[in-house]
Amino acid sequence: MSKYFMNDSELQELEQLMMLVPNFSPRGRGIIVVHGFGKADAQEREDEILPTLAEQFRFDSDIGCLNSNGRGSSYDRFISSCFHECKSYRLQSRLEYLIRNCSGNFFISQTHRARFDSVCRLQEIPVENRSPILLAVLLLLTADDKLWSAAKDHVYIDSFDFKKMNLSGINTDGYAIYQMAKTIYTAREYIRMDEIADKFLIGDQAFKAIIHSILIAKYGATVFQVKFK
């Protein structure tokens, strides 16, 4: 028997959120990492979101595309270009730590990469042809073991059904990743920038996945060819 009383009603998602991991403050005003989506299909969302991201993070064509010789731009330049207008000291400090300690792998683990690659193969769409928004959300949902267990049956070629993902037993990091995925996909602020920057709230691996998802949402599959050294 389900522990939820509001299944299949307008209050279902609210009830689930009330029963999830604590410590995340109620949504208020703050920096929305990604916004501007319509309610149309994924391609329409992508077309609408890219200009908004460019306004938010000031797109740099020298950073956000491959050089003519095929080499990718450097990891630190991608991050610096994307977040240079964010003035939060805590966020900048975490970003600097992330750059210094990057292992050279865009994914947080080999298991994470295997899950992500497996879904892309099953869906039979080359990564470079995928919507940046869908790629970013997929990167997040495959990052955490329990989150992926809850999400895997609700991941489709061009959409995600967040309402059907049962997050019972998920930890704080998994919850933060889930909220970031919803923020990118729906353009509603489910997690704030100050929460992302809080090292006592969100662990380093979850932070890495969140930051990399933002890079993908802005620059698309280009970031998978980043140079770490």
| pTM for the model | 0.73
Q: Indicate whether 1 belongs to any domain.
A: no
Closest CA to 56 of 89, 79, 33, 29: 33
Cβ neighbours, 10 Å, residue 141: 27
**Is pLDDT of 166 > 90?**
yes
pLDDT in tens, 121-138: 998 888 887 889 999 999
Q: What is the mean pLDDT of the chain?
A: 77
Number of H helices, E strands in the chain: 10, 0
Q: What angle do CA 207, 160, 46 make, to 5 degrees?
A: 80
Q: Indicate whether 205 belongs to any domain.
A: yes
Q: Indicate whether 6 belongs to any domain.
A: no
> Rounded to an integer, what is the distance from CA 57 to the centroid of its chain?
16
Q: C-alpha distances in angstroms, 29 versus 104, 188, 202?
A: 35, 11, 20
Model confidence at 140, pLDDT cuts 50, 70, 90, reads: very high
The mean pLDDT of 17-28, rounded to a whole number, is 52
**Is pLDDT of 95 > 70?**
yes
Domain count, the chain: 1
Give the least confident one: 67-71, 158-162, 214-218: 67-71
Domain that holds residue 213: 32-60+71-225
Give dist(CA 125, CA 128) in Å, integer. 8
**Is pLDDT of 52 > 60?**
no
**Is pLDDT of 205 > 80?**
yes
Q: Indicate whether 207 belongs to any domain.
A: yes
Q: Indicate whether 3 belongs to any domain.
A: no
For residues 87 and 198, which has the higher predicted lDDT (pLDDT)? 198
Buried/exposed 80-118: b ≥16 CB within 10 Å, e otherwise: bbbbeebeeeebeebbeebbeebeeebbbeeebeebbee
For residues 69 and 106, which has the higher predicted lDDT (pLDDT)? 106
Q: Indicate whether 22 belongs to any domain.
A: no
Read off φ and ψ for residue 160, nearest 5 degrees: -140, 135
Give dist(CA 92, CA 12) in Å, integer. 37
Q: Indicate whether 23 belongs to any domain.
A: no
Q: Indicate whether 13 belongs to any domain.
A: no
